[in-house]
A and B are shown apart, each in its own frame.
Chain A
Amino acid sequence: GNSVTQMEGPVTLSEEAFLTINCTYTATGYPSLFWYVQYPGEGLQLLLKATKADDKGSNKGFEATYRKETTSFHLEKGSVQVSDSAVYFCALKVSAGNNRKLIWGLGTSLAVNP
């Protein structure tokens, strides 16, 4: 079946540190891959996406590359800020008929200290 596995948190970093949050997936067919971010007290919002192999999604200094050979979509940022403190979710989409569900990872909490 389809599933997403992401690294467990919490992750605690100092400001300006390098961030990697690992995400691997299993899927039939050719899924689209997403990273969502949830700031405290808010709903989730799309951070970046990639729809085919070797695509790189990027936004707000975050990047992730769709690696079909390793079934991975790791999230990276070169220099984190306190404002990046949030929960990050990896997800994949497999569309079939009326089903456009996202399959979600469990989320990784990031805390960035000044």
Chain B
Amino acid sequence: DAGITQSPRHKVTETGTPVTLRCHQTENHRYMYWYRQDPGHGLRLIHYSYGVKDTDKGEVSDGYSVSRSKTEDFLLTLESATSSQTSVYFCAIVDASGNEQFFGPGTRLTVL
């Protein structure tokens, strides 16, 4: 157990509203990731962080922003949610060896 929690676990929102998802880790890992998982697309990387205030884009970053002001928290924000952002969102960290990613339990987001 890498001590990763995600909140909320489920959320239903309306198109055009802002949404923030939180990933929290308890073990001081440097690298954190946000993915979305959709049928037929597998896992796609949205953004990642390699330290406090150090972030970079993944392959599907349009419409998303992130912030990491503390080591333990990595926030994913949808500034104006769209129906295409309905998905399951997973947070992950890389362990100290750099060889394994540990995943949180996921957040199911529905945008109506």
Contacts and interface: CB of A to CB of B under 8 A. Distances in A.
Interface of A: 32, 34, 36, 42-46, 49, 51, 89, 93, 95, 98-102, 104-107
Contacts of A36: 101
A34 B98 CA distance: 13
A101 B105 contact: no
A99 B104 CA distance: 20
B50 A42 contact: no
A43 B104 contact: yes
B48 interface: yes
Interface stretch (B13-21, B38-46, B67-75, B77-85): B38-46
A80 to B, nearest CB: 22
Interface string B70-112: 0000000000000000000010101000111111111000000
A98 B104 contact: no
Given A89-B43, A106-B42, A43 B48 contact: no
A43 B90 contact: yes
Contacts of A105: 42
Contacts of B44: 104
Shortest beta-carbon contacts, A-B, top 5: A43-B103, A106-B42, A98-B50, A104-B43, A44-B103
A100 B31 CA distance: 8
Nearest to B44: A104
Contact of B42 (A45, A46, A104): A104
B106 A51 contact: no
Contacts of A42: 105-106
Contacts of B27: none
